[in-house]
Amino acid sequence: MSIHCNAKLEDIEKTVLMPGDPLRAKYIAENFLNNHRLVNTVRNMLAYTGTYKGKPVTIFSSGMGMPSMGIYSYELFKFYNVERIIRIGSCGAYDESLNLFDTILVNNSYTEGNFAFEWSEKEEHIACSSTTLNNQIEKVAKNLGIKYIKGNTLCNDCFDGYLDDIQSFINRFPKELNIIACEMEAFALFYMAKYLKKDAACLLTVVDSHYKNLESTPEERERSLNDMIKIALESV
């Protein structure tokens, strides 16, 4: 079994929502789930299982970056028989038309990193989300009347906000991918899902913008994330 999770097999549901921040997992459980209970505390990577409108679901934090996401998504898929994971996180905008708090549904995740090569000696730098999950998420978003943008995103190893020359960094991306935003976990999640024949999707909320020189406060981020959380939970 997992060496990074102390949950019992029966503690984890078939559908998992994965925020990066453990405290965000706690927030979702306390504000959206009924009968929630804490099921993992190892490394303070908090996980909760409960019900949403009668449907069982687990909220499991992933931590930051592809290595952390790769570990937890693999163990959930492999050892806990999870069938689908929806990442719910924040991102930075690389498209001038995006505004703070916009919701993005990721289609493809691109990375310059070598996650795929380290895992299976394959030179793969694009990982795809689940068409089945994305179709369900799009249907739910439309029914809820919540606007979203579907597009390709970057999964980076370095926090771009600290780079000396971010424009040079952006100029390296394959132009045909039309990358609209960046985050740090989706590629690993999609790659693990494909490797283990599972389903994975990623919803993101824009919390800062390269072009508009804007960023949100922690309080604003929390409020804006609720739309994304509702879409994910309703998709369950």
pLDDT confidence band for 212 (50 / 70 / 90): confident
E strands present in the chain:
15-18, 34-40, 47-52, 55-60, 84-93, 103-110, 126-128, 149-155, 179-183, 199-209, 214-215
* Residue 2 maps to a domain: no
Instruction: Tell me how many domains the chain contains.
Output: 1
| Structural domain harbouring 96 | 9-235
With a cut of 80, say whether residue 220 has pLDDT above it. Answer: no
What residues contact 61, with CB distance under 8 A and at least 6 apart? Answer: 18, 19, 20, 21, 22, 24, 25, 45, 46, 47
* Residue 13 maps to a domain: yes
Tell me the CATH number at 86. 3.40.50.1580
* Residue 58 maps to a domain: yes
* Residue 147 maps to a domain: yes
* Residue 1 maps to a domain: no
Active site residue 102: no
What is the pLDDT averaged over residues 148-167?
94
This prediction has a pTM of: 0.96
Q: What is the mean pLDDT of the chain?
A: 94
Catalytic option among 102, 199, 208, 227 = 208
